[in-house]
Structure 1
Amino acid sequence: MTSPLHKASSIELQTRRQQQRVELHKPISVININTHKKMGALVNITTEGFMLMSDTLIESNRIYSVSLLLPDAMNGHKQVDLGSDCLWSRDEVEGERYWAGFQIIDASRSALDYIEALITDFSQINGQ
């Protein structure tokens, strides 16, 4: 059975989203911790979730342990590890790129601090 979040329209997801999405102007790769393979690159992020662009389809309604590879070391750290739930995934018309939306479900206080620093240092807020 498909979860209600999987069927939710983008308008419903935007209504549920508590924080404004923030695009980053530096590339940040996302790695699957379990497979050590690159999943894709961040499109935007908040401390609650993120959107990913990928070359391969990412299975939705699944939990992923991921590492965000930081563009510049922050306090000696080069990555941020998170637990995330893929709420949705879809492809472009041509099927060459895929998009996936994730909710952050497990993050240490320091991981959230690093995300906030990323947003402050490398952000381009949507609509501005």
Structure 2
Amino acid sequence: MEERRQHSRFATELQLEVFDLHSGQRLGRIVDLSMDGFMLLSELPLAADSVWECRLVPLTWVEGLEEIRLGADCLWTRMGEDQRNCWAGFHIIDLAEDQATVLEDLLQSIRTP
């Protein structure tokens, strides 16, 4: 498969949960993250080619971070081996300038613990 990412993704020990902005429903936990997108582990059967407005929320306190709001396109999904969880890859398609700054700061803290 051709690699099309422009930014490196970083795995994180930080627990970042993703919620649907409108319903408040938990979509899953971020496994890795970049300025372009993220991979999510979800208990929901997410659909490829679906667009979401999301809130990324840390479960533990992170200085200067309450949440990051963004729009994301689900590019692909795969069922986990247990057939209960779903892996999903998202491309960030809408990120306000102030939210991009917060995301950059978060990625910097992940890169240099």
For 1:33, the equivalent position in structure 2 comes to 21
Q: CA RMSD in A?
A: 1.6
Q: Number of aligned pairs?
A: 111
Ranges in structure 1 where 5+ consecutive residues have no aligned partner:
1-10
Q: Which amino acid aligns with 1:111?
A: Q
Moved more, 66-75 or 103-112: 66-75
Pick from 26, 38, 63 the counterpart of residue 50 of structure 1.
38
Give runs of ≥4 in structure 1 deviating > 4 Å.
Answer: none
Per the TM alignment, residue 63 of structure 1 is displaced from its structure 2 partner at its CA by: 0.7
TM-score (norm. length: structure 1): 0.79
Between structures 1 and 2, the one with greater helix share: 1
TM-score (norm. length: structure 2): 0.89
**CA offsets 1:80-121 (integer angstroms, 9 cap, x no match):** 100000000111122121100011000011111111111111
For 1:93, the equivalent position in structure 2 comes to 81
For 2:104, the equivalent position in structure 1 comes to 116
Ranges in structure 2 where 5+ consecutive residues have no aligned partner:
none
**CA offsets 1:30-82 (integer angstroms, 9 cap, x no match):** 0011210100000011111111001121111011000000343543x511100
Q: In percent, how many aligned pairs have the same letter?
A: 27
